[in-house]
Amino acid sequence: MKPQPFDDENLDALFAGARTLTSLDEAAAERALRSWRQTRARRNGWRWASGLLATAAMLGGVLYLQHGQTLPTHAAYEVYNQASGVGW
């Protein structure tokens, strides 16, 4: 099979054929679009979960800091003694 010479008519026919959509092109586009939608749905689910975890961490930190300010120093020493069983 000999390659065809490139003249204006051959190039026009080649470009016209490349612009024409076929059923294979449409099927490939549909598969790509379906995959993109599934990936996006998975990412949105993780955004929701990460936002919930960040909120829980922030609230936990605020509650911990508020509780830590009301705890006297001798209470921390008593907790240490109970955990270790010996004095400092």
Q: How far apart are CA 13 and CA 31, in angstroms?
A: 28
**Using one digit for the tens of pLDDT, what is the confidence trace for 38-87?**
888 777 666 777 788 888 888 888 887 766 555 567 777 777 777 777 65
**Using one digit for the tens of pLDDT, what is the confidence trace for 28-39?**
989 999 998 888
Q: What is the rounded (10 degree) CA torsion for 19, 24, 27, 31? A: -90
Q: How far apart are CA 39 and CA 37, in angstroms?
A: 5
Contact 88, 80 (CB under 8 A): yes
Contact 6, 14 (CB under 8 A): no
